[in-house]
Amino acid sequence: MGVTEKNTSPAESPRKNGLDLVNGPILRTVILLALPVIASHFLNLAIQLADALMVGALNKEALAALLMSNQLIMLLFGLGWGIGFATITYVSQRTGAEKPKLARRAAAHAIIFALVLGLIMSGLGNLFLPKMMAVFNAEPVVTEYAITYSDIMFDYMPFFFMIFMGISVMQGYGDTVTPLIIMACINVVNIFLNYCLIFGHFGFPEMGIAGAAYGSIIARGVGSAAMLIVLTSGKYRVTLRAADFKPYLSEFWGILRLGVPNSMQSMFRNVNVIFLYRILSMTISPTVAQASLGIGFQAEALGFIPLMGLFIANGAMVGQNLGAGKPDRAEAAAWASLKTAFVLMLVVAAAFLIFPEWIVSQFNKDSHVIASGAWYLRINAITQIFQSCFVLVGALRGAGDSLNPLAAHFTGQWIIRLPLAYFLVRYSGLEEWGLWLAMATSSAIEMTIYFWLFRRGKWKRIKLVTDSVESSGD
Protein backbone atom coordinates (compact mmCIF):
# COMPACT_ATOMS: atom_id res chain seq x y z
CA MET A 1 0.00 0.00 0.00
CA GLY A 2 1.43 3.39 -0.95
CA VAL A 3 2.10 6.20 1.46
CA THR A 4 -0.98 8.35 1.23
CA GLU A 5 -1.01 10.02 4.62
CA LYS A 6 -2.90 13.25 4.73
CA ASN A 7 -3.00 13.90 8.45
CA THR A 8 -0.20 15.84 10.04
CA SER A 9 0.52 16.24 13.70
CA PRO A 10 0.81 19.82 14.99
CA ALA A 11 4.57 19.35 15.30
CA GLU A 12 4.79 18.47 11.61
CA SER A 13 2.51 21.07 10.12
CA PRO A 14 4.47 23.93 8.58
CA ARG A 15 1.20 25.78 8.10
CA LYS A 16 0.62 25.83 11.85
CA ASN A 17 4.23 26.49 12.80
CA GLY A 18 5.22 29.00 10.12
CA LEU A 19 4.03 30.77 6.99
CA ASP A 20 0.99 29.34 5.21
CA LEU A 21 2.09 29.24 1.59
CA VAL A 22 -1.16 27.92 0.12
CA ASN A 23 -3.62 30.38 1.66
CA GLY A 24 -3.78 34.10 2.38
CA PRO A 25 -2.32 37.20 0.67
CA ILE A 26 0.18 36.25 -2.02
CA LEU A 27 2.52 39.24 -2.20
CA ARG A 28 2.82 39.49 1.58
CA THR A 29 3.61 35.78 1.84
CA VAL A 30 6.22 35.98 -0.94
CA ILE A 31 7.94 38.94 0.72
CA LEU A 32 7.85 37.41 4.21
CA LEU A 33 9.27 34.20 2.80
CA ALA A 34 11.93 35.99 0.75
CA LEU A 35 13.19 38.51 3.33
CA PRO A 36 14.99 36.01 5.60
CA VAL A 37 16.48 34.34 2.51
CA ILE A 38 17.74 37.72 1.33
CA ALA A 39 19.23 38.43 4.73
CA SER A 40 20.77 34.94 4.81
CA HIS A 41 22.35 35.42 1.38
CA PHE A 42 23.66 38.82 2.43
CA LEU A 43 25.36 37.07 5.34
CA ASN A 44 26.71 34.39 3.03
CA LEU A 45 28.02 37.02 0.65
CA ALA A 46 29.44 38.91 3.62
CA ILE A 47 31.68 35.90 4.24
CA GLN A 48 32.96 36.12 0.66
CA LEU A 49 33.30 39.89 0.87
CA ALA A 50 35.18 39.64 4.16
CA ASP A 51 37.58 37.21 2.53
CA ALA A 52 37.98 39.45 -0.53
CA LEU A 53 38.45 42.67 1.42
CA MET A 54 40.95 41.21 3.88
CA VAL A 55 42.91 39.26 1.27
CA GLY A 56 42.75 42.27 -1.07
CA ALA A 57 44.62 44.21 1.61
CA LEU A 58 47.57 41.86 1.06
CA ASN A 59 48.03 42.51 -2.68
CA LYS A 60 46.16 42.31 -5.97
CA GLU A 61 47.74 38.93 -6.83
CA ALA A 62 46.32 37.35 -3.67
CA LEU A 63 42.93 38.90 -4.41
CA ALA A 64 42.90 37.56 -7.98
CA ALA A 65 43.87 34.12 -6.62
CA LEU A 66 41.07 34.14 -4.05
CA LEU A 67 38.43 35.15 -6.59
CA MET A 68 39.59 32.54 -9.11
CA SER A 69 39.67 29.85 -6.41
CA ASN A 70 36.11 30.68 -5.41
CA GLN A 71 35.00 30.20 -9.01
CA LEU A 72 36.62 26.77 -9.07
CA ILE A 73 35.00 25.82 -5.76
CA MET A 74 31.64 27.05 -7.02
CA LEU A 75 32.07 24.76 -10.01
CA LEU A 76 32.24 21.76 -7.68
CA PHE A 77 29.32 23.16 -5.68
CA GLY A 78 27.21 22.99 -8.84
CA LEU A 79 26.01 19.43 -8.30
CA GLY A 80 25.09 20.17 -4.70
CA TRP A 81 23.20 23.29 -5.73
CA GLY A 82 21.05 21.33 -8.16
CA ILE A 83 20.32 18.60 -5.61
CA GLY A 84 19.47 21.32 -3.11
CA PHE A 85 16.81 22.84 -5.32
CA ALA A 86 15.44 19.40 -6.16
CA THR A 87 15.10 18.96 -2.40
CA ILE A 88 13.13 22.20 -2.14
CA THR A 89 10.84 21.00 -4.93
CA TYR A 90 10.14 17.58 -3.43
CA VAL A 91 9.80 18.77 0.17
CA SER A 92 7.56 21.71 -0.78
CA GLN A 93 5.26 19.77 -3.11
CA ARG A 94 4.85 16.91 -0.64
CA THR A 95 4.24 19.39 2.15
CA GLY A 96 1.58 21.12 0.04
CA ALA A 97 0.01 17.72 -0.66
CA GLU A 98 0.08 16.99 3.12
CA LYS A 99 2.42 14.00 2.87
CA PRO A 100 4.86 14.70 5.73
CA LYS A 101 6.44 11.25 5.76
CA LEU A 102 7.50 11.56 2.13
CA ALA A 103 8.72 15.11 2.77
CA ARG A 104 10.89 13.88 5.64
CA ARG A 105 12.20 11.05 3.48
CA ALA A 106 13.27 13.49 0.74
CA ALA A 107 14.96 15.66 3.36
CA ALA A 108 16.88 12.73 4.85
CA HIS A 109 18.03 11.49 1.46
CA ALA A 110 19.24 15.01 0.60
CA ILE A 111 21.42 15.00 3.72
CA ILE A 112 22.87 11.62 2.70
CA PHE A 113 23.61 13.15 -0.70
CA ALA A 114 25.40 16.04 1.05
CA LEU A 115 27.83 13.78 2.85
CA VAL A 116 28.55 11.63 -0.22
CA LEU A 117 28.93 14.59 -2.57
CA GLY A 118 31.21 16.39 -0.14
CA LEU A 119 33.56 13.42 0.05
CA ILE A 120 33.57 12.94 -3.73
CA MET A 121 34.30 16.62 -4.38
CA SER A 122 37.10 16.59 -1.81
CA GLY A 123 38.72 13.71 -3.65
CA LEU A 124 38.30 15.29 -7.08
CA GLY A 125 39.57 18.64 -5.90
CA ASN A 126 42.71 17.28 -4.32
CA LEU A 127 43.43 14.94 -7.22
CA PHE A 128 43.11 17.45 -10.06
CA LEU A 129 43.78 20.82 -8.37
CA PRO A 130 46.96 21.82 -10.30
CA LYS A 131 45.39 20.89 -13.64
CA MET A 132 42.18 22.76 -12.83
CA MET A 133 44.13 25.88 -11.83
CA ALA A 134 46.14 25.69 -15.06
CA VAL A 135 42.93 26.37 -17.00
CA PHE A 136 42.90 29.95 -15.72
CA ASN A 137 46.34 30.53 -17.28
CA ALA A 138 47.10 33.07 -14.54
CA GLU A 139 50.52 34.47 -13.68
CA PRO A 140 52.67 32.08 -11.60
CA VAL A 141 52.39 34.00 -8.33
CA VAL A 142 48.59 34.12 -8.65
CA THR A 143 48.44 30.39 -9.37
CA GLU A 144 50.60 29.64 -6.32
CA TYR A 145 48.31 31.63 -4.04
CA ALA A 146 45.23 29.97 -5.56
CA ILE A 147 46.54 26.43 -5.04
CA THR A 148 47.42 27.20 -1.41
CA TYR A 149 43.89 28.44 -0.70
CA SER A 150 41.98 25.80 -2.66
CA ASP A 151 43.97 22.85 -1.33
CA ILE A 152 42.79 23.65 2.20
CA MET A 153 39.19 24.28 1.18
CA PHE A 154 38.83 21.00 -0.71
CA ASP A 155 39.75 18.94 2.35
CA TYR A 156 36.57 20.00 4.14
CA MET A 157 33.96 20.04 1.37
CA PRO A 158 31.40 17.93 3.32
CA PHE A 159 30.86 20.88 5.69
CA PHE A 160 29.83 23.13 2.80
CA PHE A 161 27.44 20.57 1.31
CA MET A 162 25.82 19.76 4.67
CA ILE A 163 24.96 23.42 5.24
CA PHE A 164 23.62 23.76 1.71
CA MET A 165 21.31 20.74 1.95
CA GLY A 166 20.12 21.58 5.44
CA ILE A 167 19.10 25.06 4.33
CA SER A 168 17.30 23.60 1.30
CA VAL A 169 15.31 21.24 3.51
CA MET A 170 14.17 24.09 5.75
CA GLN A 171 13.28 26.30 2.81
CA GLY A 172 11.22 23.49 1.28
CA TYR A 173 9.16 23.46 4.46
CA GLY A 174 8.67 27.21 4.13
CA ASP A 175 11.08 28.08 6.94
CA THR A 176 13.55 30.78 5.95
CA VAL A 177 14.19 32.19 9.44
CA THR A 178 16.15 29.30 10.99
CA PRO A 179 18.70 29.23 8.12
CA LEU A 180 19.14 32.97 8.63
CA ILE A 181 20.03 32.47 12.30
CA ILE A 182 22.51 29.71 11.48
CA MET A 183 24.12 31.79 8.72
CA ALA A 184 24.49 34.71 11.13
CA CYS A 185 26.44 32.47 13.52
CA ILE A 186 28.63 31.19 10.68
CA ASN A 187 29.26 34.76 9.60
CA VAL A 188 30.41 35.96 12.99
CA VAL A 189 32.78 33.00 13.46
CA ASN A 190 34.17 33.31 9.92
CA ILE A 191 34.91 37.04 10.00
CA PHE A 192 36.52 36.85 13.43
CA LEU A 193 38.75 33.92 12.46
CA ASN A 194 39.66 35.55 9.13
CA TYR A 195 40.79 38.69 10.91
CA CYS A 196 42.85 36.65 13.34
CA LEU A 197 44.37 34.15 10.91
CA ILE A 198 45.04 36.32 7.85
CA PHE A 199 46.85 39.08 9.78
CA GLY A 200 47.96 37.25 12.95
CA HIS A 201 45.93 39.12 15.57
CA PHE A 202 45.12 38.06 19.17
CA GLY A 203 48.03 35.67 19.32
CA PHE A 204 47.07 33.68 16.20
CA PRO A 205 49.70 32.95 13.54
CA GLU A 206 49.83 35.24 10.49
CA MET A 207 48.84 32.90 7.64
CA GLY A 208 47.86 35.22 4.79
CA ILE A 209 45.53 33.70 2.22
CA ALA A 210 45.69 30.31 3.97
CA GLY A 211 44.14 31.96 7.02
CA ALA A 212 41.09 32.90 4.96
CA ALA A 213 40.62 29.25 4.04
CA TYR A 214 40.93 27.98 7.60
CA GLY A 215 38.53 30.63 8.88
CA SER A 216 35.94 29.57 6.31
CA ILE A 217 36.12 25.83 7.00
CA ILE A 218 36.01 26.17 10.79
CA ALA A 219 32.97 28.44 10.58
CA ARG A 220 31.15 26.07 8.25
CA GLY A 221 32.02 23.12 10.45
CA VAL A 222 30.22 24.88 13.29
CA GLY A 223 27.28 25.59 10.95
CA SER A 224 27.03 21.97 9.79
CA ALA A 225 26.83 20.72 13.36
CA ALA A 226 24.15 23.29 14.20
CA MET A 227 22.09 22.33 11.13
CA LEU A 228 22.04 18.64 11.99
CA ILE A 229 21.22 19.30 15.64
CA VAL A 230 18.24 21.46 14.69
CA LEU A 231 16.80 18.96 12.20
CA THR A 232 17.11 15.96 14.53
CA SER A 233 16.62 17.53 17.97
CA GLY A 234 12.85 16.99 18.24
CA LYS A 235 12.31 20.68 18.91
CA TYR A 236 12.09 21.81 15.29
CA ARG A 237 8.80 22.03 13.37
CA VAL A 238 9.72 18.77 11.60
CA THR A 239 11.98 16.15 13.15
CA LEU A 240 14.01 13.79 11.00
CA ARG A 241 14.02 10.28 12.46
CA ALA A 242 16.36 7.34 12.00
CA ALA A 243 13.75 5.55 9.86
CA ASP A 244 13.70 8.50 7.42
CA PHE A 245 17.33 7.75 6.54
CA LYS A 246 16.54 4.22 5.37
CA PRO A 247 17.81 4.34 1.76
CA TYR A 248 15.33 4.02 -1.11
CA LEU A 249 16.84 3.88 -4.57
CA SER A 250 13.66 5.33 -6.04
CA GLU A 251 14.02 8.34 -3.74
CA PHE A 252 17.63 8.91 -4.75
CA TRP A 253 16.67 8.56 -8.39
CA GLY A 254 13.79 11.01 -8.10
CA ILE A 255 16.01 13.68 -6.55
CA LEU A 256 18.79 13.02 -9.06
CA ARG A 257 16.40 13.10 -12.02
CA LEU A 258 15.33 16.60 -11.07
CA GLY A 259 18.59 17.73 -9.54
CA VAL A 260 21.12 16.81 -12.22
CA PRO A 261 19.79 19.24 -14.89
CA ASN A 262 19.75 21.96 -12.21
CA SER A 263 23.30 21.03 -11.30
CA MET A 264 24.40 21.04 -14.92
CA GLN A 265 23.11 24.58 -15.30
CA SER A 266 25.13 25.71 -12.30
CA MET A 267 28.21 23.78 -13.42
CA PHE A 268 27.92 25.10 -16.98
CA ARG A 269 27.87 28.61 -15.59
CA ASN A 270 30.95 28.10 -13.44
CA VAL A 271 32.91 26.34 -16.18
CA ASN A 272 31.92 29.23 -18.44
CA VAL A 273 33.35 31.68 -15.91
CA ILE A 274 36.63 29.77 -15.81
CA PHE A 275 36.89 30.10 -19.60
CA LEU A 276 36.16 33.81 -19.27
CA TYR A 277 39.16 34.11 -16.96
CA ARG A 278 41.25 32.27 -19.54
CA ILE A 279 40.06 34.58 -22.33
CA LEU A 280 41.15 37.53 -20.20
CA SER A 281 44.64 36.02 -19.98
CA MET A 282 45.01 37.15 -23.62
CA THR A 283 44.70 40.83 -22.67
CA ILE A 284 47.61 43.23 -22.21
CA SER A 285 47.19 43.29 -18.40
CA PRO A 286 45.71 39.88 -17.50
CA THR A 287 45.92 40.23 -13.71
CA VAL A 288 44.12 43.58 -13.84
CA ALA A 289 41.43 42.17 -16.15
CA GLN A 290 40.96 38.99 -14.09
CA ALA A 291 40.78 40.92 -10.82
CA SER A 292 38.23 43.28 -12.42
CA LEU A 293 36.07 40.34 -13.53
CA GLY A 294 36.15 38.85 -10.03
CA ILE A 295 35.25 42.17 -8.45
CA GLY A 296 32.46 42.64 -10.99
CA PHE A 297 31.03 39.25 -10.05
CA GLN A 298 31.21 40.16 -6.36
CA ALA A 299 29.40 43.45 -6.95
CA GLU A 300 26.74 41.75 -9.07
CA ALA A 301 26.34 39.07 -6.44
CA LEU A 302 25.53 41.78 -3.91
CA GLY A 303 22.81 43.17 -6.17
CA PHE A 304 21.67 39.66 -7.06
CA ILE A 305 20.88 38.67 -3.48
CA PRO A 306 17.28 40.03 -3.50
CA LEU A 307 16.70 37.93 -6.63
CA MET A 308 17.96 34.84 -4.83
CA GLY A 309 15.52 35.48 -2.02
CA LEU A 310 12.63 35.78 -4.46
CA PHE A 311 13.98 32.81 -6.45
CA ILE A 312 13.83 30.55 -3.38
CA ALA A 313 10.47 31.96 -2.28
CA ASN A 314 9.11 31.31 -5.77
CA GLY A 315 10.29 27.71 -5.70
CA ALA A 316 8.65 27.02 -2.34
CA MET A 317 5.44 28.91 -3.21
CA VAL A 318 5.02 27.25 -6.59
CA GLY A 319 5.91 23.82 -5.23
CA GLN A 320 3.51 23.90 -2.31
CA ASN A 321 0.64 25.42 -4.31
CA LEU A 322 1.00 22.97 -7.18
CA GLY A 323 1.11 20.17 -4.62
CA ALA A 324 -2.07 21.58 -3.08
CA GLY A 325 -3.76 21.73 -6.51
CA LYS A 326 -3.68 25.54 -6.83
CA PRO A 327 -1.84 26.34 -10.11
CA ASP A 328 -3.43 29.80 -10.46
CA ARG A 329 -2.13 30.82 -7.04
CA ALA A 330 1.30 29.45 -8.00
CA GLU A 331 1.32 31.63 -11.14
CA ALA A 332 0.16 34.69 -9.23
CA ALA A 333 3.02 34.21 -6.76
CA ALA A 334 5.50 34.10 -9.64
CA TRP A 335 4.16 37.33 -11.12
CA ALA A 336 4.33 39.03 -7.72
CA SER A 337 7.97 37.95 -7.40
CA LEU A 338 8.82 39.19 -10.89
CA LYS A 339 7.32 42.64 -10.34
CA THR A 340 9.15 43.00 -7.03
CA ALA A 341 12.42 41.88 -8.63
CA PHE A 342 12.04 44.39 -11.47
CA VAL A 343 11.83 47.33 -9.05
CA LEU A 344 14.80 46.09 -7.01
CA MET A 345 17.02 45.62 -10.05
CA LEU A 346 16.25 49.14 -11.25
CA VAL A 347 17.94 50.33 -8.06
CA VAL A 348 20.95 48.06 -8.65
CA ALA A 349 21.31 49.30 -12.24
CA ALA A 350 21.27 52.91 -11.04
CA ALA A 351 23.96 52.19 -8.45
CA PHE A 352 26.22 50.58 -11.06
CA LEU A 353 25.84 53.60 -13.35
CA ILE A 354 26.32 56.29 -10.69
CA PHE A 355 28.91 54.84 -8.30
CA PRO A 356 31.04 52.32 -10.29
CA GLU A 357 34.49 53.57 -9.24
CA TRP A 358 33.53 53.74 -5.57
CA ILE A 359 32.15 50.19 -5.64
CA VAL A 360 35.28 48.74 -7.22
CA SER A 361 37.61 50.71 -4.93
CA GLN A 362 36.12 48.95 -1.90
CA PHE A 363 37.81 45.75 -3.12
CA ASN A 364 41.12 47.04 -4.43
CA LYS A 365 42.84 50.43 -4.61
CA ASP A 366 44.87 49.75 -7.77
CA SER A 367 43.94 52.52 -10.22
CA HIS A 368 43.99 50.19 -13.24
CA VAL A 369 41.68 47.69 -11.54
CA ILE A 370 39.32 50.50 -10.54
CA ALA A 371 39.13 51.82 -14.12
CA SER A 372 38.58 48.38 -15.67
CA GLY A 373 36.12 47.21 -13.04
CA ALA A 374 34.11 50.42 -13.28
CA TRP A 375 33.54 49.82 -16.99
CA TYR A 376 32.40 46.28 -16.19
CA LEU A 377 29.68 47.72 -13.93
CA ARG A 378 28.66 50.45 -16.39
CA ILE A 379 28.32 48.08 -19.34
CA ASN A 380 26.44 45.45 -17.35
CA ALA A 381 24.20 47.93 -15.52
CA ILE A 382 21.23 47.81 -17.91
CA THR A 383 21.25 44.02 -18.02
CA GLN A 384 20.48 44.03 -14.29
CA ILE A 385 16.90 44.90 -15.25
CA PHE A 386 16.72 41.81 -17.46
CA GLN A 387 18.14 39.78 -14.58
CA SER A 388 14.83 40.22 -12.73
CA CYS A 389 13.51 37.36 -14.92
CA PHE A 390 15.84 35.02 -13.02
CA VAL A 391 13.18 34.67 -10.31
CA LEU A 392 11.00 32.89 -12.89
CA VAL A 393 13.55 30.07 -12.98
CA GLY A 394 12.57 29.45 -9.36
CA ALA A 395 8.97 29.02 -10.48
CA LEU A 396 9.94 26.63 -13.27
CA ARG A 397 12.07 24.52 -10.96
CA GLY A 398 9.51 24.58 -8.18
CA ALA A 399 7.14 23.02 -10.69
CA GLY A 400 9.71 20.36 -11.60
CA ASP A 401 10.90 21.82 -14.92
CA SER A 402 14.69 21.61 -14.91
CA LEU A 403 15.43 20.85 -18.59
CA ASN A 404 14.07 24.01 -20.23
CA PRO A 405 16.01 26.40 -17.94
CA LEU A 406 19.12 24.32 -18.65
CA ALA A 407 18.63 24.71 -22.42
CA ALA A 408 18.10 28.46 -22.07
CA HIS A 409 21.20 28.80 -19.94
CA PHE A 410 23.33 26.79 -22.36
CA THR A 411 22.15 28.97 -25.23
CA GLY A 412 22.99 32.22 -23.49
CA GLN A 413 26.26 31.21 -21.84
CA TRP A 414 27.86 28.84 -24.33
CA ILE A 415 26.36 29.42 -27.76
CA ILE A 416 26.37 33.22 -27.45
CA ARG A 417 28.64 34.43 -24.62
CA LEU A 418 31.86 32.45 -25.06
CA PRO A 419 32.27 32.77 -28.85
CA LEU A 420 31.34 36.45 -28.77
CA ALA A 421 33.69 37.14 -25.84
CA TYR A 422 36.59 35.36 -27.54
CA PHE A 423 36.06 37.27 -30.79
CA LEU A 424 35.76 40.69 -29.15
CA VAL A 425 38.76 40.24 -26.85
CA ARG A 426 41.00 38.59 -29.43
CA TYR A 427 40.22 40.52 -32.59
CA SER A 428 38.34 43.76 -31.87
CA GLY A 429 41.01 45.57 -29.87
CA LEU A 430 38.52 46.20 -27.06
CA GLU A 431 40.59 44.15 -24.60
CA GLU A 432 38.52 43.18 -21.51
CA TRP A 433 35.79 45.62 -22.50
CA GLY A 434 34.88 43.20 -25.28
CA LEU A 435 34.18 40.53 -22.67
CA TRP A 436 32.05 42.95 -20.65
CA LEU A 437 29.95 43.61 -23.79
CA ALA A 438 29.58 39.90 -24.54
CA MET A 439 28.36 39.27 -21.01
CA ALA A 440 25.75 42.01 -21.18
CA THR A 441 24.41 40.82 -24.56
CA SER A 442 24.17 37.15 -23.63
CA SER A 443 22.54 37.87 -20.25
CA ALA A 444 19.77 39.90 -21.85
CA ILE A 445 19.01 37.10 -24.34
CA GLU A 446 19.08 34.34 -21.71
CA MET A 447 16.71 36.19 -19.38
CA THR A 448 14.29 36.87 -22.23
CA ILE A 449 14.11 33.12 -22.89
CA TYR A 450 13.25 32.48 -19.23
CA PHE A 451 10.37 34.95 -19.50
CA TRP A 452 9.06 33.20 -22.61
CA LEU A 453 9.22 29.78 -20.94
CA PHE A 454 7.20 31.08 -18.00
CA ARG A 455 4.58 32.82 -20.16
CA ARG A 456 4.12 29.63 -22.20
CA GLY A 457 2.62 28.05 -19.07
CA LYS A 458 3.51 24.39 -19.63
CA TRP A 459 5.21 24.28 -16.21
CA LYS A 460 1.79 24.29 -14.51
CA ARG A 461 1.00 20.85 -15.91
CA ILE A 462 4.20 19.02 -14.89
CA LYS A 463 3.78 16.03 -12.59
CA LEU A 464 6.63 14.81 -10.41
CA VAL A 465 7.41 11.11 -10.68
CA THR A 466 6.57 10.11 -7.10
CA ASP A 467 4.32 7.08 -7.51
CA SER A 468 7.21 4.63 -7.36
CA VAL A 469 8.59 6.39 -4.30
CA GLU A 470 5.23 6.38 -2.54
CA SER A 471 4.75 2.69 -3.12
CA SER A 472 8.24 1.74 -1.98
CA GLY A 473 7.30 1.26 1.65
CA ASP A 474 6.48 3.16 4.80
List, run by run, the mean pLDDT of 10-residue segments along the chain (474 residues): 42 54 87 85 75 83 84 75 80 83 89 88 84 83 89 88 87 84 89 91 91 91 90 83 87 83 79 89 90 88 85 86 88 93 94 94 87 93 92 88 90 94 92 93 95 92 56 41
pLDDT for the residue numbered 340 = 93
pLDDT for the residue numbered 18 = 59
pLDDT for the residue numbered 468 = 42
Cα distances (angstroms) measured from residue 147 to each of 15, 63, 87, 161 = 47, 13, 32, 21
pLDDT for the residue numbered 7 = 43
pLDDT for the residue numbered 10 = 42
Q: What predicted TM-score, i.e. pTM, was given to this entire model?
A: 0.70
pLDDT for the residue numbered 473 = 40
pLDDT for the residue numbered 4 = 41
